Amino acid sequence: MHSKLPIFITATALLLSACGNNVTGVKSTQTDSLSTDSVSPSVETKDPNSVKKSSFAGQTRISAVKTTTAFESKILSSDLKSPWGIVSLPDGKLLITEKGGTMKIASPSGTLSAALTGIPAVDTKGQGGLLGVTIDPAFAQNRMVYWAFAEPVSGGNLTSLAKGKLSADEKAIENAVVIYRATPAYNGKLHYGGRVIFDTKGNLLLSTGERSDKETRPQAQDPKSGLGKVIRLTTDGKPAPGNPTIDPARPEIYSYGHRNVQGLAIHPVSGDVWEAEFGPRGGDEINLVQPGKNYGWPTITYGIEYSGETISEGLTQKAGLEQPVYYWDPSISPSGMTFYKGTSIPEWENNLFVGSLSGMHIARLVIENNKVVGEERLLSGENQRFRAVIQGNDGALYAVTDQGRLYWIGKK
């Protein structure tokens, strides 16, 4: 199926669109100056969901910043079906998962392939389906692909990790095999986590959710459970060497106390692992993930139940539990994310870009010394649920939305 012709949108046009102006096809240049002055207004203007106070300055509602370099975006395709994961192939093509259980390859211009064959069945109920995807660091030699998915099993479903080889003709995944299952199974349809990336040592990092329901939430704190964790594995699905020993029963666990991690990224300078985590109302988080650490859910949170009720004891801090680097109140529903590494847009260097679902934008976070010092909201006039964002081999950002769009974002 061929993509639609690219639609060009620039930063200023997007700002006008957010104010209700119809600017489709308009080109212009953003000239606002970058500012991280602590007294400048926050990018967030809505009332918070919760009355809880942050634990340190800059932990939420940080000062607004704006990009000075002229940039633009293009809609390469609007023909995807609920895309979820995206990864750049060495030749510049993009491998994209669709929630319903298919993978497709997009050309640099946005032309989509037919669905690849050879993908194991997925459970598509609720938030389930075919989820995150990545490729082997040695893909040019071995053509190996790794993906997370909601797997139907006896007793319900679970977050699983599979691998297979992309065929030479790019029409199939060959010899697909499940290499890890985040047990126990649960008969639910929410909070699978599902991002998968490689760390700097060539090991896989997989995020799992705690499955949302009150009966499963405590498993995020249980080191004998695979739910609500960041898992670190070899490419064979075994516990990676050097993992922390949280519990001998689960040597694959890297960190725990997570709610629903849908964003994972490696800092391009430090190699540190960062994550974006769905919280309850007013409790979405960005965390710097350290081995063996407990990130608190559901014992501590800055959010509240969707009903407005208090969660657990209403605590935001407790000894031995980690604080988020940053949180959003009200929630934006953060999903896939990436760090920018390049020189074409200088002020983006080492910034974190996070897809936002309910917020309908891409959040740009300026990070200095592991603290967020500025936030910008990109493409907010598009009214799209941004599910994932990556940096392609051409240095530009690529994003997919629940509504089926594939975006290119780069220097004008």
pLDDT given for residue 205 in this prediction: 99
- Name the band, by pLDDT with cuts 50, 70 and 90, for residue 3: very low
Separation of alpha carbons 158 and 122, rounded Å: 10
With a cut of 50, say whether residue 17 has pLDDT above it.
no
- Name the band, by pLDDT with cuts 50, 70 and 90, for residue 221: very high
Rounded to an integer, the average pLDDT of 170-183 is 98
Rounded to an integer, the average pLDDT of 30-41 is 42
pLDDT given for residue 394 in this prediction: 95
With a cut of 80, say whether residue 303 has pLDDT above it.
yes
Separation of alpha carbons 150 and 157, rounded Å: 6
Q: List all residues 6 or more positions away from 215 whose beta carbon is below 8 Å from its beta carbon.
A: none
Q: What confidence tens digit (pLDDT) does each residue in 230-268 have?
A: 999 999 999 999 999 999 999 999 999 999 999 999 999
Residue 276 neighbours by CB distance under 10 Å:
30
pTM of the model: 0.91
Q: List, by residue number, the catalytic residues.
A: 191
- Name the band, by pLDDT with cuts 50, 70 and 90, for residue 385: very high
pLDDT given for residue 8 in this prediction: 39
Q: What confidence tens digit (pLDDT) does each residue in 304-358 have?
A: 999 999 999 999 999 999 999 999 999 999 999 999 999 999 999 999 999 999 9
- Name the band, by pLDDT with cuts 50, 70 and 90, for residue 18: very low
pLDDT given for residue 290 in this prediction: 98
Q: What is the DSSP string of 143-205?
A: -EEEEEEEEEETTEEEEEEEEEEEPTTSSBEEEEEEEEE-SSPBS--S-----EEE-TTS-EE
State the average pLDDT for the chain.
Answer: 91
> Which CA distances in Å does 6 have to 24, 59, 396, 405, 408?
12, 38, 15, 11, 9
